[in-house]
Structures are given as C-alpha cells and as structure tokens.
Amino acid sequence: MKIVLIGSGNVATHLGPALIKAGHDLIQIVGRTETNTALLARKLNCAYTIAPSKISDKAEIYIIAIRDQAIEKYAKFIPSKAKLVLHTSGTVSMNALAASGIPFGVLYPIQSFSIRRKIGFSKVPLCLEANGPHAHKRLTKLATSLSNNVHWISHEHRKIIHLAAVFANNFSNHLFVLAEELLKKKGMSFDLLRPLIDETASKVQKYSPSEMQTGPAKRGDSQTIEKHFALLKNKPHISKVYDILTKSIQDHDGPLL
Amino acid sequence: MKIVLIGSGNVATHLGPALIKAGHDLIQIVGRTETNTALLARKLNCAYTIAPSKISDKAEIYIIAIRDQAIEKYAKFIPSKAKLVLHTSGTVSMNALAASGIPFGVLYPIQSFSIRRKIGFSKVPLCLEANGPHAHKRLTKLATSLSNNVHWISHEHRKIIHLAAVFANNFSNHLFVLAEELLKKKGMSFDLLRPLIDETASKVQKYSPSEMQTGPAKRGDSQTIEKHFALLKNKPHISKVYDILTKSIQDHDGPLL
C-alpha cells in the first residue's frame, strides 16, 4: 500500500523501516525540522517535506506518528481522497482525526522506541481502533503486515495500557537509574547489576510478576529494611522512593512491618 | 574440592548444581526441614542431614547459604579442621563467621534466584571477601571455578550493592505487579507488556539507564501526567507510587511541572 508517514521521532524512525520491510511503498516522510526529516528520508530512500501543505496526495494511508498535542492539527492536512488516516498515540482519542473527513483509526505499538536501538516489529503488540468498516478493513491489512500480535482495543482500554506501560517501562528504568547512582557514588560499575536486571525481566516473560516477587519487603525482613534506611539517611530523595515501594509491596502481598 | 552446603532455599538450590558442574565434590547438604533437604540432596545425589551437630567433618569448604539471622548460629557448628567457611549474604558482615575459628569469607552472588528457574552461574557477578591470605587463596579458586565475573568487594560496598539490587530487581518487579493489576482490572492480559519489559531490560544491558529514560515525567508532559492521575483516582495506593516516581524522575533529570 502507498503510505505517507508524518513524524521523524522515535516512533516514525522505527515504523518507517518496518513499513518498507513489510513491502509497503513509503512515498513521503513529513517532519518538523529539516535535519531530522531529511536524515530519516535518506535512510528510507523516499521523498520528504517539512511543509504540511505539501503533504503528497498520492497515498492510500497516512500515519501520524508525532507528539499528542499536534495530532489534530496535522489531521486537517490529510488529502480528502485518502482512504485511511491513523495516529500512533497511547492516550489520544481517535476522534482527534475526525477533522480529516476520511476513515480514521489508531495503531498504537506497545513498545519503547529509542533512536539508537533496532527493534523487530513483528512481535510488538499493536493496539488497533477504527471508526468504521472501511477503516477496520484497511487497518487490519496494514497491522497484520507489520506484526503477528494485533489487538482491537477501545480508547478506554488503550489509556490503561499506556498508564501500565509507564509503570513497566519508564518507572522501572528510573529505578535502574537510582540503582546506578547508588553504585556510582561509591565508585562501582552498573555492570554489577546488568545480569540481575536481565533475569528480572526474563522471569516475568513466563511467570506472573506477583509470583516472582522477592526481597526484604515481601518477606517482612524488617532488620534488612532498617539497615537500608540507615544507608540512605543522607539521600532523603531515594529513601522516599524506598519507603513508598516497600509499603506498596507490603500492602499488596507481604506481611506488615 | 570437597564441599558441604548448608541451606536448602533459593541460593543453595542454584549453588548446589553449579558446584557439581564446576567439578567439586559436594558431600553433604545441611537443611532445616526434612522434606526440602532430602529433595535437594536427591537431586544433587549426595548425603544430607537436618541436625547441625551431624555436619560432616570431611570437607575442605563449608558454604552457609541460609537466611541472614541464622548464619552466626551455624558458624559455630563448622568443624575446626575445615579450611574455609563462607556465607552468601549481601548484608551480613563476614565477622559473623569468626566464631568458627577457621579462615572465613563471603561469596555473594548478585542474582535473584527462584526455585522454578535455572540460571547459568558462569555470568553471575560474585562479590568476594576474605579474612586473610588463606581464605583469599581458596575463595579465589572456588569462585573462579563457578563464574567468570568475580569481584573483591568490601562489606561497606557489598551492602550498597544489595540495596541497589533491591531497586533494580525487587522494586522493578513490584512495578510489573502494579502494571499487571491495572490491566487485569480491565480484563486485559499482562502479555501486552511482556515485549516492552523485555526491551526495557535489554536497553540497559548496553546503555546507561539515565540515557534510556523516556516517558511523560522525563519530557515534562503535564497533560499526560494529569490524565494518568485521573485514571488512578480510585486507586490512591497506586497513585501514590505514580506521584513519587514521577517527582523522582523530574528531580533527577526532567523539567519541573
């Protein structure tokens, strides 16, 4: 299918190659800044523009993969003879695309994309939503060409997934940041924790995280918890995080102190 | 080397097979309960006892892999002609073993062991400490037979590693629990987040987590943060965790709200 991709950030940078790999004809990249957009267009060997008014009218599908706040604005520039317009946001309603006047929907990939890392798109869960049978049909064809893991998800549910993903990805990464900081302050390398983090994630690929919970909070080991607070006494900021998460584990499934 | 392993929990269950695989002669398992101890001894094809007074005096090395509070008690039962006694705790001083009257030290594996999952020991970082040249020499030989990743670490530093590991493993697993809970309440499967968690851990195998931080808190996206608080309004417990971690990310390296 002929596709125009609007965006040059993390999502677009990963979606672009995935579209080409799936055999689609990516005819144009639309970006905000000359440098990023030209770079991505060259990598994908296709045309580009940074002027919304110059969006090509030759495509069947338009994918808007940009920050939430700008989606509605770009929807207005989608050519009226197009067959489908999509956004890729975890939080925005598909109705933000209604102004386009054409069939619309959502293709939200549950993944954390970084410019630096390549990701095999075929296993990324895709959350889909469509405003009617025309959008439904084309979106099904597009999504199944990209991934084996597609789900029809309402806006209400998609918002919950996005929130849960913040816990699973953004917040857990921040805990790694705090752990790295504790080690670095004493001149130790984060390498010491890398196998542990790898195993922590591997465990929950098969089991439920609730079955895999271990540690002083879970087993009600108040002596160790007190020792940890003592180590953190000059770091009130990290101590606060320790406190809340310890209490949260105990409220959930551990014995109370 | 001839070894007696004291313990039948998570650490002992993983250390036992690793010792045998490394070519050591595991002559006895010492446990607290008949059932667990007999089970592990059968799996490892060696003798066992649950009576500390019946600990074999035929070994060169005694490894005490039990809960912190009981280490000192078992140290008193180590035969006086033994060459080395070790514990495997991240928090306890090696001096808890002084009562044994023989060379002593620490072998603390930085890993989260679960009975259910096998772990290749060869990449597990081992933190070592020894009370003198005799312990140092034997511990080096033992540790390098088990892993390619050994580090001499003082008690002060080992305690920091243990604390950092609580953040990297126990606390991040708890965030996965909260994420699973959010999904399940709406009838959705944790499968939706598994590829994301896998990628979150894979990213920090190569890069620093501080470079990999993304999400609404990091980019100062207060609109999305407000939407998330609205979704959590009937879950004050999870909302509290969201609040503290969002603030912690922003205090660290994001713009303030």
pLDDT of residue A120: 84
pLDDT of residue B164: 98
Alpha carbon of A58: minimum distance to chain B alpha carbons (Å): 34
| pLDDT over 90 (residue B152) | yes
Which percentage of chain A shows pLDDT scores above 90?
93
| pLDDT over 60 (residue B99) | yes
pLDDT of residue A253: 60
Over residues A101-108, the mean pLDDT reads 98
| pLDDT over 70 (residue A256) | no
pLDDT of residue A138: 98
| pLDDT over 90 (residue A18) | yes
Q: Mean pLDDT score of chain B, rounded to an integer?
A: 95
pLDDT of residue B253: 59
Cβ contacts of B179 on chain A, cutoff 8 Å = 164-165, 167-168, 209
Cβ contacts of B204 on chain A, cutoff 8 Å = 173, 176, 190, 194, 197
Report ipTM for this prediction.
0.94
| pLDDT over 50 (residue B198) | yes
CB burial readout A226-252, b (16+ within 10 A) else e: ebbeebbeeeeebbebbbbbbbbbbeb
Can you give the pTM of this predicted structure? Answer: 0.94
- What is d(CA A174, CA A188) in angstroms, rounded to the nearest whole number? 18
- What is d(CA A195, CA B201) in angstroms, rounded to the nearest whole number? 10
Of A127, A170, A175, the CB nearest to B167: A175
| pLDDT over 90 (residue B228) | yes
Contact check, Cβ <8 Å, A209/B173? yes
pLDDT: is A253 or B159 the higher one? B159
pLDDT digits (tens, 9 = 90+) for A56-95: 999 999 999 999 999 999 999 999 999 999 999 999 999 9
| Mutate which: B93, B204, B207, vs A, most A CBs within 10 A | B204
Q: Mean pLDDT score of chain A, rounded to an integer?
A: 95
Contact check, Cβ <8 Å, B213/A91? no
pLDDT category of residue B256 using cuts at 50, 70 and 90: very low
Assign 3-class secondary structure to A161-186: HHHHHHHHHHHHHHHHHHHHHHHHHC
pLDDT of residue A113: 86
- What is d(CA B133, CA B141) in angstroms, rounded to the nearest whole number? 12
**CA torsion sign, B156 to B245 to A218 to A197?**
negative
| pLDDT over 70 (residue B254) | no
Cβ contacts of A248 on chain B, cutoff 8 Å = 174, 178, 237-238, 240-241
- What is d(CA B172, CA A213) in angstroms, rounded to the nearest whole number? 10
Assign 3-class secondary structure to chain B: CEEEEECCCHHHHHHHHHHHHCCCEEEEEECCCHHHHHHHHHHHCCEEECCHHHCCCCCCEEEECCCHHHHHHHHCCCCCCCCEEEECCCCCCHHHHHHHCCCEEEEEECCCCCCCCCCCHHHCCEEEEECCHHHHHHHHHHHHHHCCCEEECCHHHHHHHHHHHHHHHHHHHHHHHHHHHHHHHCCCCHHHHHHHHHHHHHHHHHCCHHHHCCCCCCCCCHHHHHHHHHHCCCCHHHHHHHHHHHHHHHHHCCCCC
| Mutate which: B68, B151, B157, B174, vs A, most A CBs within 10 A | B174
Cβ contacts of A252 on chain B, cutoff 8 Å = 174, 177
Instruction: Nearest chain A residue to B211 by CA: give it.
Output: A177
pLDDT digits (tens, 9 = 90+) for A129-180: 999 999 999 999 999 999 999 999 999 999 999 999 999 999 999 999 999 9
| pLDDT over 60 (residue B194) | yes
